[in-house]
Structure 1
Amino acid sequence: MARISMAEVIVALVLSAAMLQVTYAEDYTVGDSTGWVRPSDSTFYTNWAADKVFHINDTLAFDFTTGAHDVAIVTKDAYDSCSTTNPTQLFQTGPVTLTLNSTGEHYYICTITGHCSAGQKLAINVVADSDNTTPGPSGSTTPPSAASSSRGFTFAFFMFVVIGLLF
């Protein structure tokens, strides 16, 4: 049986880690099975996002009926005041899937009259994968979600399998 050097093991581990880091992303359907609708509870989307940690390359799927709802990407001020004028981007044909491509706060509202003020709005914070905690929209700290924790477990399991195959 061929003997594997420590250098080969290290190279395999580094390449495996790089591959895992590049290919992993979480897909979220905003509101889960409820979708993107005018909620009966004004805190519905805040509660939906509260236990999630969003990362670069994760996706948000806004599932809504065209003409009944839309999705506007807005500033914090527009989010807070439910201002529908001058959104950064407006998507009027549903469903819409957006890839999170920058860290920081992200704000979404429905511009249909009365929907935002009824709670059809979403604020999330996108973090880099190396972050262990997430500042929430109000500045509070939220621990990593099960999805985030499973990233570490998946990585550890994958590395265990690679090492096992090498020896």
Structure 2
Amino acid sequence: MESLLILRRPLFLLLTCSAALLLAMPSETYATRFIVGGHNGWTSNFNYTEWAKTQHFYLGDWLFFVYDRNQMNVLEVNKTAYDACSAEYPLHNWTTGAGRDVVPLNVTRHYYFISGNGFCYGGMKLAVRVENLPPPPKAALASHKNGAPNASSLIMVRLATAFAVMWALLFRI
């Protein structure tokens, strides 16, 4: 019986600490990984302008290009090169050779991408505008000003409750 209690105590501590950490984690995620073109990927004969219109790109998001590595590439260019489908002087070549390239959107600005080897003329070009994260809704700000609990205070209450329960159960065993 004694050995069973010894085995249960570390397991109990591990589980309760894990639960407390999960409660403390923010429920919102701030970065999104966009698979460029959705299930179509980075390919010719697809309208990336229309696809980009259905997305919102924010600071910290990622673009994930999936394509045929033997034929295509991912080049970041300026607007002039984008409009002309010119791969002559890219700002950055994101091609890694694996056909699965990730581009971090870490600056708020316009980004322009094309695929060289003539594929840009077949529609393989993407322009995105990266914005700052939108501010929290006014209702959340108003409730905080009126003394209603905000998300961080609710997390603290959850943590304190979880800690109190852990403490009580730990010394009861």
Whether these two folds match at TM > 0.5 is: yes
Equivalent residue for 2:170? Answer: none
Quote the RMSD (CA, aligned, Å): 3.2
- What secondary structure sits across from 1:116 in the alignment? helix
1:52-76 C-alpha deviation (Å, 9 max, x unpaired): 1101110000001212110000000
What amino acid maps onto 1:101 in structure 2? N
Correspondence 1:130-149 to 2 at 5 A: 130=134
The reply on whether 1:47 has 2:39 as its aligned counterpart is: no
What amino acid maps onto 1:124 in structure 2? V
Equivalent residue for 1:159? Answer: 151
Instruction: State the 1:20 CA deviation.
Output: 7.0
Unaligned runs of 5+ in 1: 1-15, 132-150
The reply on whether 1:36 has 2:28 as its aligned counterpart is: no
- Pick one of 63, 67, 75 that aligns with 1:64: 67
Give the structure with the higher percent helix.
2
Equivalent residue for 1:10? Answer: none
Equivalent residue for 2:124? Answer: 120
- Rounded Cα–Cα distance in structure 2 between residues aligned with 1:65 and 1:118: 15
- Rounded Cα–Cα distance in structure 2 between residues aligned with 1:164 and 1:89: 44
Instruction: State the 1:91 CA deviation.
Output: 3.0
- Rounded Cα–Cα distance in structure 1 between residues aligned with 2:55 and 2:111: 14
Instruction: State the 1:164 CA deviation.
Output: 9.3
- What secondary structure sits across from 2:128 in the alignment? strand
The reply on whether 1:26 has 2:32 as its aligned counterpart is: yes
- What secondary structure sits across from 1:47 in the alignment? helix
- TM-score normalised by length of structure 2: 0.62
The reply on whether 1:105 has 2:113 as its aligned counterpart is: no
- Rounded Cα–Cα distance in structure 1 between residues aligned with 2:89 and 2:152: 51
Equivalent residue for 1:88? Answer: 91
Instruction: State the 1:117 CA deviation.
Output: 1.2
What amino acid maps onto 1:26 in structure 2? T
Unaligned runs of 5+ in 2: 1-23, 142-149, 162-173
C-alpha contact (below 8 Å) 2:94/2:103 kept by paired residues:
no
Q: Which runs of 4+ in 1 moved over 3 A?
A: 163-167
- Rounded Cα–Cα distance in structure 2 between residues aligned with 1:103 and 1:27: 16
Equivalent residue for 2:21? Answer: none
- Rounded Cα–Cα distance in structure 1 between residues aligned with 2:27 and 2:88: 41
- Rounded Cα–Cα distance in structure 1 between residues aligned with 2:157 and 2:111: 42
Equivalent residue for 1:143? Answer: none
